[in-house]
Amino acid sequence: MGLTAEVANYITSAKFEDFTPNAVFAARHGIIDCVACALAGANEDLTKILVGFAQDTGSGNSGSTLIGQNMKASAPMAALVNGAMGHALDYDDIARPFKGHPSVVCLPPALAVGEQVEASGRDVMAAYMIGFEVGCAINTGMGVDYADDLGWHPTAPVGTLTAAAAAARLLGLNEQQTAMALSLAASNACGLRENFGTMTKPFHAGNSSRGGVTAAMLVKRGYQAATTGLEGRFGFMHAFSGGRGEDVNKPLEHLGKRLFLEQPGVTIKKYPCCGSTHNPLDAYFALRKDKKIDHRDVESVDVLVDFDPPRSLIHADPHNALEGKFSIQYTIAAALVDDKVGLGQFEGDQQVMRPEIRALMPKINMRRNPGYEGKPSWVEAYNEVRITLKDGTVLAQGQNRNFEGPVVGVTPQGMDMKFRDCASKALPAAKVNEALEILHNLETQPSIAPLMSAVSGR
């Protein structure tokens, strides 16, 4: 049996009980975080445009809820809008083996299809967890250039397969149909890093969710595709790896044998900006604990990172909030000036244009840890911030990436706080509480309809 068929076998046969309490704990965090981020992104400009597009292209009044919009649409359209909304602020979770953002390509498809088929909370969670494991497993077999050199937004191409896995599971596709849905999704995947720092980065998450749902729905209706879309000579892994270093045997070394959700689990973001800024920001705030730093005293800042710049942080001179999210210069400058990096630092394009920010940005240099240039990303897991003050003082702080699972970056209390903070941007307080209560008990819900009603914005 080939890889696509084996993956399809896993998707159709995995059970909720296969997931350990730690894995379910991680999944719950990923799901709560994803809904939180979607609600926080519900009023963003890009969301409004997509909602208008959904209305005008005739998808209104189907059965899948658009989060925070008082509106339903077809499942593919809901997956598109909710996925983009969940990624709008770049505040959503990360999984290291996924090399990107798992929940925005696992949950929106699971919710959109789950609502159509009247699934239980447990079934939706299972689809989410299965999508998560499939995405991580496939990623282990992708060549290094998939995430590094070629320019793919790693969340997106594999994310389309992830979304197809979740949707196929909930639609009850059999093994062969699931293999076809994966192959069809493989032909409907994309996302280029050149669009980072624009509305199109969040579009990638939504479009991957949409593409996976579309693939599964079409196959459910009898549409046919290859059953070798992943491993084939002209399939996904070869094409998206640029023909360099893909290993079609690797995914099955992991899938169903270890749980990525358990180790390394999910990382919940503390800062609403590109994940590649997080270690440097952690290093900065660790430094800051011991000593107040006045940004006017700063002569220069060196940021050592564990990838060859620019990779994701492609905006050294950002001119608007979205570009600022993909700028080590802006995020470190904001930390220096504002002493925090939260939603407020990205509200309005004028934030990145403040004179004190613009004075600092040219002083901030990003480079790779010496000796690692040209090597794959994610190998060092060590970042460092070195601040040289005008009086010659050097303040330096290293930061290792935290590999402990299953949930990194947030405490349970912190998760609830983040949810309330984000959700309050789109929901009244009573609905915030109702949604959070349901999310904490998702696996016991006979239907996800009450959850969708609570987050619908009605």
In angstroms, the CA 308 to CA 397 distance is 20
Which position among 67, 218, 274, 385 is part of the footprint of its own copies (CB under 8 A)?
218
Considering all CA atoms of the chain, what is the largest pairwise distance in Å, rounded to the nearest integer? 71
Closer to its own copies by Cβ: residue 59 or 331: 59
Question: Residue 56, interface with its own copies (CB under 8 A)?
Answer: yes
Which position among 15, 221, 257, 292 is part of the footprint of its own copies (CB under 8 A)?
221
Q: How far is the CB of 232 from its own copies (least distance, A)?
A: 4
- Which span (25-33, 44-52, 133-141, 271-279) binds its own copies, by CB under 8 A? 44-52
Question: Residue 152, interface with its own copies (CB under 8 A)?
Answer: yes
Binding to its own copies (CB under 8 A): which residues in 242-281? Answer: 242-244
- Which span (96-104, 235-243, 284-292, 423-431) binds its own copies, by CB under 8 A? 235-243
Question: Residue 150, interface with its own copies (CB under 8 A)?
Answer: yes
CB–CB of 133/234 below 8 Å? no
- Please name the helix (run of DSSP H) or strand (run of DSSP E) that holds residue 241, with its range, or none: none
Closer to its own copies by Cβ: residue 192 or 381: 192
Question: Residue 217, interface with its own copies (CB under 8 A)?
Answer: yes
CB–CB of 67/115 below 8 Å? no
Which position among 145, 262, 282, 380 is part of the footprint of its own copies (CB under 8 A)?
145
In angstroms, the CA 240 to CA 143 distance is 8
Mark 318-342 as b/e (b = at least 16 C-beta within 10 Å). bebbbbbbbbbbbbbbbbbbbeebe
Question: Residue 207, interface with its own copies (CB under 8 A)?
Answer: yes
CB–CB of 303/329 below 8 Å? no
Question: Residue 111, interface with its own copies (CB under 8 A)?
Answer: no
**Tokens coding 410:** 């947030």
Which position among 134, 168, 189, 341 is part of the footprint of its own copies (CB under 8 A)?
189
Which position among 43, 122, 176, 223 is part of the footprint of its own copies (CB under 8 A)?
223
How many residues in the shown chain lie near its own copies by CB under 8 A? 69
Count of CB atoms situated within 10 Å of the CB of 433 = 14
Q: How far is the CB of 131 from its own copies (least distance, A)?
A: 19
In angstroms, the CA 30 to CA 133 distance is 13
Count of CB atoms situated within 10 Å of the CB of 194 = 11
Q: E strands, 235-362, where?
A: 266-267, 298-305
CB–CB of 273/90 below 8 Å? yes
Closer to its own copies by Cβ: residue 215 or 422: 215
Count of CB atoms situated within 10 Å of the CB of 2 = 16
Would you tell me which residues interact with its own copies (CB under 8 A)? Answer: 45-46, 49-50, 52-53, 56-62, 73-77, 145, 149-153, 156, 183-184, 186-200, 203-204, 207, 214, 217-218, 221-226, 228-229, 232-236, 238-239, 242-244, 310, 314, 322
